[in-house]
């Protein structure tokens, strides 16, 4: 039964590998990789917890009756089996509750925002506000919410780039990808580390769409840069490593065709990719093997096998 | 019409561009001034058509100015709605989960780096 722990530990190795790999990939591929890794590993972790719950649950008379079990399922000391099972059930319940709360929260947020945006005609909702801000509000139709301060901070061409950027978010339904990874992060704490890289990859996708729409990468870069500078520095410096540039300078550099920091060597990149693939395959195989072992134990307990 | 590529953009996108100009400027603008502010990317007749459509929807208000009209964004119900929506959304950090902001806040180091990037312009050998 020890293989069942693999899917619970794999995210601690897979997440750093996926982050490094996403850094080296084109934005679209990076986003696809991060979403697949997050959702896949979250599913495996939840399934592993379920596999841990079942042996302990077989000590309950009604579970044994429902499963037509003659003896409880166990290949270890009953106290350990039951203890692990109770802990796994607690974690599984907590994850399910966190995912449900989050899902309802997302739905409520969007419903409120949509109900209020319903009065706005057209795709643009302008907010009279002295703080420069802009974001895409998903829905059917999606809307672009922008403050007057942001409109005033940009030149007409830069505003076109900003709108094209937000339209790319809406067209690509990027909020669904963000929500999927956000929900996955509720299933396993290590998966939280995939949210920021996904956010960055989606901004890069939208930046590239904006550059295409205005036909000028420098103009798109200036739109991003000036919008960020208009907001001024953060009131309290963010506690990020001083050596790493924040997402906005990295986006601007990418649009301008500048390299920021050394890209990992192709060999290292391939090694990281191979490591990640191995980690994911091992996780899936361990999950199947653990399920198969449990199935065998059930057959034994049902008296179908000696 | 000239500027064929711009003219073919969906009507909604053109309306957003024109509306953005009105909000970015102080005081009402004539169609000619809007066209100028847009950098001449749209024909004046197109700008006039868009402004008329925005007026019909109640998104902009207009007042007589010479032989034509001067337009300003309507600061009434839609604006208030949008403002309320913004305050609703801005107060909760967790909204970041589904709402992708155009730019995040900068650290001091980020700001210096960004200024030097923008001052230097594009890389010579960049794609």
Partners of B39 on chain A (C-beta within 8 Å) are: 156-157
Phi-psi sector, A89: left (phi>0), alpha (psi -120 to 50), beta: alpha
Pick the CATH number of B1-119 from 1.20.1250.20, 1.20.120.1810, 1.10.10.10, 1.10.20.60: 1.10.10.10
Cα atoms in the Cβ-side hemisphere of radius 13 Å centred on A279: 20
Q: What is the pLDDT of residue B99?
A: 67
Tell me if chain B has a CB within 8 Å of the CB of A157. yes
Q: Do B110 and A248 touch (CB under 8 A)?
A: yes
- Among the listed residues A166, A141, A162, A148, the one whose alpha carbon sits nearest the alpha carbon of residue B82: A148
Q: Do A122 and B57 touch (CB under 8 A)?
A: yes
Where does the pLDDT of residue A177 fall: very low under 50, low under 70, confident under 90, or very high at 90 and above?
A: very high
Q: What percent of chain B has pLDDT over 90?
A: 18
- Count CB atoms within 10 A of the CB of residue A296: 12
Higher pLDDT, A236 or A114: A114
Whether B82 has a pLDDT exceeding 80, the answer reads no
Q: Least CB-CB distance to A121: which of B57, B99, B113?
A: B57
Rounding to the nearest 10 degrees, give the CA dihedral for residues A74, A77, A80, A81: 10
Per-residue b or e along B27-65, where b marks 16 or more CB atoms closer than 10 Å to that residue's CB: ebbbbebbbebbeebbeeebbbbbbebbeeeebbbbeee
Reduce the DSSP state of residue B101 to 3 states and report it. strand
Total CB pairs under 8 A between chain A and B: 219
Phi, then psi, of A125 in degrees rounded to 5: -110, 110
Q: What percent of chain B has pLDDT over 70?
A: 68
Q: Nearest chain B residue to A258 by CA: give it.
A: B123
Q: Do B81 and A122 touch (CB under 8 A)?
A: no
Q: What is the pLDDT of residue A261?
A: 63
Q: What is the pLDDT of residue A41?
A: 95
Tell me if chain B has a CB within 8 Å of the CB of A211. no
- Count CB atoms within 10 A of the CB of residue A271: 14
Q: What pLDDT digit, counting tens, does each position of A21-58 carry? A: 998 899 999 999 999 999 999 999 999 999 999 888 88
Q: Nearest chain A residue to B88 by CA: give it.
A: A113
Q: Least CB-CB distance to B106: which of A105, A165, A248?
A: A248
- Count CB atoms within 10 A of the CB of residue B122: 16
pLDDT, chain A, mean: 85
Average pLDDT over every residue of A99-125: 75
ipTM for the predicted complex comes to: 0.77
Q: Do A133 and B90 touch (CB under 8 A)?
A: yes
Q: What is the pLDDT of residue A235?
A: 46
Burial category of B76 from C-beta neighbours within 10 Å (exposed 0-12, middle 13-18, buried 19 and up): exposed
Q: What is the pLDDT of residue A105?
A: 83
Q: Least CB-CB distance to B114: which of A122, A182, A225?
A: A225
Q: What is the pLDDT of residue A68?
A: 83
Average pLDDT over every residue of B8-14: 75
Where does the pLDDT of residue B83 fall: very low under 50, low under 70, confident under 90, or very high at 90 and above?
A: low
Q: Nearest chain B residue to A242 by CA: give it.
A: B109
Q: Please report, for chain A, the start and end positions of each structural domain, with discontinuous segments joined by +.
A: 2-301
Whether B20 has a pLDDT exceeding 70, the answer reads yes
Q: What's the first-to-final CA gap in chain B, in angstroms? A: 33
Residue of A107, A121, A137, A169 to mutate, testing the B interface (most B Cβ within 10 Å of its Cβ): A121
- Count CB atoms within 10 A of the CB of residue B85: 23
Q: Please report, for chain B, the start and end positions of each structural domain, with discontinuous segments joined by +.
A: 1-119
Query: Is the separation of the CB atoms in B22 and B33 below 8 Å?
Result: no
Q: What is the pLDDT of residue B87?
A: 55
Partners of B81 on chain A (C-beta within 8 Å) are: 116-117, 119-120, 125
Q: Do B111 and A163 touch (CB under 8 A)?
A: no
Average pLDDT over every residue of A139-144: 81
Q: What pLDDT digit, counting tens, does each position of A223-266 carry? A: 999 888 887 554 433 333 334 567 888 999 999 988 766 666 78
- Among the listed residues A250, A227, A139, the one whose alpha carbon sits nearest the alpha carbon of residue B113: A250
């Amino acid at each position: 039964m020890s293989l069942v722990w693999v899917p619970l530990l794999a995210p601690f190795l897979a997440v750093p590998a996926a982050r490094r790999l996403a850094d080296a990939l084109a934005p679209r591929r990076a986003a696809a990789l991060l979403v697949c890794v997050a959702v896949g590993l979250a599913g495996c972790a939840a399934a592993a917890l379920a596999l841990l719950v079942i042996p302990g649950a077989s000590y309950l008379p009604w579970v044994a009756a429902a499963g037509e079990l003659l003896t409880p399922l166990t290949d270890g000391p009953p106290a350990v089996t039951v203890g692990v099972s109770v802990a796994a059930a607690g974690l599984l319940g907590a994850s399910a509750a966190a995912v449900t709360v989050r899902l309802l929260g997302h739905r409520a947020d969007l419903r409120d925002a949509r109900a209020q945006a319903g009065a706005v005609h057209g795709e643009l909702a302008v907010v009279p506000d002295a703080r420069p801000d802009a974001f895409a509000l998903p829905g059917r139709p999606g809307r672009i919410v922008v403050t007057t301060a942001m409109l005033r901070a940009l030149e007409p061409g830069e505003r076109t780039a900003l709108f094209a950027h937000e339209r790319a978010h809406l067209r690509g339904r990027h909020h669904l990808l963000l929500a999927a990874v956000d929900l996955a992060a509720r299933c396993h704490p290590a998966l939280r580390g995939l949210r920021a890289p996904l956010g960055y990859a989606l901004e890069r996708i939208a930046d590239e769409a904006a550059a295409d729409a205005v036909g000028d990468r420098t103009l798109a870069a200036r739109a991003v840069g000036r919008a960020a500078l208009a907001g001024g520095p953060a009131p309290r410096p963010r506690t990020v490593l001083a050596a790493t540039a924040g997402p906005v300078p990295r986006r601007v550099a990418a649009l301008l065709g500048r390299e920021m920091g050394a890209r990992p060597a192709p060999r290292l990149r391939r090694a990281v990719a191979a490591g990640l693939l191995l980690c994911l395959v091992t996780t899936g195989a361990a999950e199947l093997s653990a399920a198969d072992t449990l199935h065998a134990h059930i057959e034994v307990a049902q008296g179908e096998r000696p | 019409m000239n500027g064929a590529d711009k003219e073919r953009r969906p009507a909604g996108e053109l309306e957003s561009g024109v509306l953005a100009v009105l909000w970015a400027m102080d005081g009402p603008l004539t169609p000619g001034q809007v066209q100028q502010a847009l950098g001449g990317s749209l024909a004046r007749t197109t700008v006039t058509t868009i402004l008329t459509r925005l007026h019909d929807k109640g998104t902009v208000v207009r007042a007589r100015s010479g032989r034509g009209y001067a337009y300003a964004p309507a600061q009434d119900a839609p604006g208030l709605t949008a403002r309320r929506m913004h305050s609703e959304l801005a107060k909760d950090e967790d909204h970041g989960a589904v709402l992708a902001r155009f730019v995040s806040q900068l650290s001091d180091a980020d700001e210096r780096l960004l200024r030097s990037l923008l001052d230097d312009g594009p890389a010579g050998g960049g794609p």
